[in-house]
Amino acid sequence: MSITHAPPASLPNRQYVRTLPGVTLVGVVHDHPASVARVRSVIETTDHATLALELPPLAIGLFEEYAADPRETPAFGGEMSAAIAASDARVVGIDGPSRRFLRALVRHVAHDRPRRGELSRLLSATTRAVRHALSCRLAGSLARRTGIRVEVGSPRTYDCTPAGSLAEQADHERTQVSRARSVLRAFPSPELARRDAVREDCMATSIANAREAGPVVAVVGIDHLDGLAARLRS
């Protein structure tokens, strides 16, 4: 890859990028055109040995198949497949479910002893995540063997397309971020915050381990940017 340069002037919403020693964090709104453009631009101008994605390890094979789409922007996989297509680095999945995540979750439950209702919801969410990761693994195997690419889950859609200007895309993305954060402030969820803390602990550990082999570009949800940056600085 090329040597790291200053972010290009055309990079949409540069405030969603964090540059740390050995790590560049790129925040995204999943499947948003502005996020796809930002991810591609950062990857193409940043030296990195590892591309770390907020995906479970079991899903990486499927997104690599998506990234094999010859079109400039792959039809499936949003910013994650676009990131793989733009990079020639090693690709790793840093999100749960993974052995590290499940061990951390068990430690969290043993230490915090959540109430029965919270524990039930936590286990239910984890079960759904495991099923989704396994579905991705199966779909990836199908794509490798047959060339048939299947979208797992429903991609998010927006009143904004790649055909619009970068300025229009960036404005729309900022609006989406503002709305989502307003909802979180109005309806705070301690359970979600604790689960995200476990996820961020695991993702930060995976990124730090990958950094030992050379610079890392990590593509993660915007709401994880500050948490991951704080963990990686400590």
Note the pLDDT tens digit of each residue in 48-61.
999 999 999 999 99
In a domain, 174, yes or no: yes
In a domain, 8, yes or no: no
Mean per-residue pLDDT over the chain, rounded: 91
Return the CA Rg of the chain: 18
In a domain, 1, yes or no: no
In a domain, 133, yes or no: yes
Percentage of the residues of the chain whose pLDDT score is greater than 70? 96
Look at the chain and report how many structural domains it folds into.
Answer: 1
Read off the pLDDT of each residue in 214-223 and give the average, rounded to a whole number. Answer: 98
In a domain, 205, yes or no: yes
Least Cα distance to 32 among 162, 227, 119, 182 occurs for: 162
pTM over 0.85: yes
Residue-number span of the structural domain to which 38 is assigned: 14-233
- Which residue did the predictor score with more confidence, 102 or 31? 31
- Whose tokens are 């029965």? That residue is 116
Cα 205 from chain centroid (whole Å): 15
